[in-house]
Amino acid sequence: MFSKATANFVHQVDQDGRLIHVSRMNDSSKLLPMALVVKQKRVWFWQRPKYQTTDFNLSDLLLGDEVLTPVVIKKDFLKYIGILGDKLSGTFEAEAGSVGMKVEGLGSSKLLSDFGELMKEELDVKRLLQDSDNRLVDMEHVLVQQLEKRSDVLAVVKERIVTTTASVVTETKKEKCAFYGVVSLLGKLGASIKTCIKESNDIEADSDVSLEIPSGVVIAYSILELDIKNDGHYKLCLQPGKIGGFENDMVRAWSEESLTVVDGRCFDEKIAEEQIQLDGSHMDDLSPLTALSQTTRWALFCKLQEILSDRMTLLHLQHVLEEVCVNQNSDNASMNAVHLLVSALEELPDETLSLICDSQPKFFQAFSAMMGLLKESGDLLSMQFLPTLLWEKEAFQQAEKLLGSVGVTLRVDGDRLWVEMVENSGIRVLVLRLSIYGLSLLCSGQNQDTFSCRI
């Protein structure tokens, strides 16, 4: 419940920025300015990384007896009261006037987060650079030894958002049938998900729970990554898009140049483009979905489409699947395909998910076919090859809206059709194509004359 509240806070206040939500209240005491955090890569290159707190700070990592003492600047941040239901909603105010929003909406579940007045504590980076000048990393430190040959990255806490008074998070909800329906279906596919569900606090039905949060609790933070050389020299990655790591890590997923920020994530545009060009392999990874029975595919399609209206539930499902497929080393091809599909859906913007919720199966198949044809033709398609459904005005407009939600414009000139993308939209186009293709596989063979998920 705490994680959902902090994730919703970051989503509303800093969706395209660099704040990281705190998933566990126990981590708060470790997230001090200059504390060390481990950034861990995920399964798919487009996913946001995970962050793990440590018991060390930068001073512990450096050679020499002089202890670094962080200089911290404190500022009032904002007052926050957020409501999360079936539709994203909330209220928050900023005294400086830089943030102001009030939207209301309730659903079958409601999460009320009253964090009150929040404070930002920010590390004086200039002072840190002066105090740590010419210091070297102890390459024999236990933390370095454990991470040096891996692709994880060490980072220091730059700023943190802290509660200043006691606050309350209250969750009232009824049983989420869609989530349980998916879990039940996955269980029939042979997934060992009982342990994952038992460890979660998101599956209680008809619950009304309040969580009291004391003052001084960290709910979000940002980091500066460390670029560490073999001889112990290091740099703080100060510029946006600069990523750290160890020099001897030859399989790093990102380089130090040509980096861009997408949804608060850093990508090497060259490597990302290479991955996008290879998206056919990801498409193939979804093919095991066709091995499921038509009844199972249709049931899974319906439950997923219901879940898309609740991002927190979608995120929770993604975490459950990652636990099953990655941490438990599942070799279940169908389960891995579902994991890929849900991971792609979870990366899409709220507007895109809303449009997918309102779309019919036959549209998914037509849209997926169009995207495949555009890919094969080099992004320029003759109108005569456009799927029949998309000749209809309503369906074509739906396609325009769906592409527009990820920064793509669909253009028509005479007999030619093509797409125009804004800068750095390639990642979202890829996850959109994967999502629609996966959904089209799930609803393939279903009677398209009537659209009903009541099976």
Express each pLDDT in 374-413 by its tens digit: 888 877 888 889 999 999 999 999 999 999 999 889 888 8
In eight-state DSSP terms, residue 233 is -
Tokens of 202: 């998101």
What angle separates helix 294-307 from helix 177-188, to the nearest 10 degrees? 150
User: Where in 271-333 does DSSP place strands (E)?
Assistant: none
Between CA 163 and CA 219 the distance in angstroms is: 8
> Is residue 278 within 8 Å of 323, Cβ to Cβ?
no
> Is residue 436 within 8 Å of 368, Cβ to Cβ?
yes
Mean pLDDT over residues 244-270, rounded? 47
In this structure, are 258 and 364 located in the same domain?
no
Between CA 242 and CA 259 the distance in angstroms is: 7
Between CA 260 and CA 146 the distance in angstroms is: 29
* DSSP per-residue codes, 432-453: HHHHHHHHHHHTTTS--SS---
User: How many other C-beta atoms are found inside a 10 Å radius of the C-beta of residue 119?
Assistant: 16
Specify the pLDDT at position 192. Answer: 62
Domain count across the chain: 2
What is the model's pTM? 0.70
pLDDT at 259 over 50: no
In this structure, are 367 and 262 located in the same domain?
no
User: How many other C-beta atoms are found inside a 10 Å radius of the C-beta of residue 397?
Assistant: 12
Does residue 14 belong to any structural domain of this protein? yes
CA angle, residues 446, 447, 453, in degrees to nearest 5: 70
One-letter identity of residue 45: F
In eight-state DSSP terms, residue 88 is B
**Which segment, 36-50, 56-70, 198-212, is predicted with the most confidence on average?**
56-70
In this structure, are 109 and 234 located in the same domain?
yes
Mean pLDDT over residues 251-267, rounded? 38
Does residue 87 belong to any structural domain of this protein? yes
In this structure, are 381 and 258 located in the same domain?
no
Note the pLDDT tens digit of each residue in 335-362: 889 999 999 999 898 899 999 998 999 9
Does residue 253 belong to any structural domain of this protein? yes
Assign residue 400 the CATH number of its domain.
Answer: 1.10.10
pLDDT at 252 over 50: no
Sign of CA dihedral 277, 346, 184, 181: negative
Specify the pLDDT at position 181. Answer: 72
Tokens of 313: 């539930």
In this structure, are 239 and 92 located in the same domain?
yes
Does residue 180 belong to any structural domain of this protein? no
Compute CA 452 distance to the chain's CA centroid, rounded to the nearest angstrom.
30
> Is residue 5 within 8 Å of 111, Cβ to Cβ?
yes
In this structure, are 254 and 132 located in the same domain?
yes
Does residue 110 belong to any structural domain of this protein? yes
> Is residue 141 within 8 Å of 240, Cβ to Cβ?
no
pLDDT at 368 over 80: yes
Specify the pLDDT at position 380. Answer: 82
Does residue 327 belong to any structural domain of this protein? no
Kindly give, in sequence order, each residue whose CB lies less than 8 Å from that of residue 277, ignoring residues fewer than 6 positions away.
Answer: none
Tell the residue number behind the tokens 């957020």, with chain if given: 82
In this structure, are 225 and 114 located in the same domain?
yes
In this structure, are 221 and 370 located in the same domain?
no
Mean pLDDT over residues 178-199, rounded? 65
Answer with the one of 238, 266, 294 that is the final residue of a domain: 266
Does residue 67 belong to any structural domain of this protein? yes
Does residue 286 belong to any structural domain of this protein? no
In this structure, are 122 and 249 located in the same domain?
yes
Between CA 246 and CA 147 the distance in angstroms is: 9
Which has more pLDDT, 2 or 36?
A: 36
Note the pLDDT tens digit of each residue in 5-62: 888 888 888 866 789 999 888 899 999 999 999 998 877 877 778 899 999 999 999 9
Identify the domain containing residue 162 by its residue range. 2-166+214-266
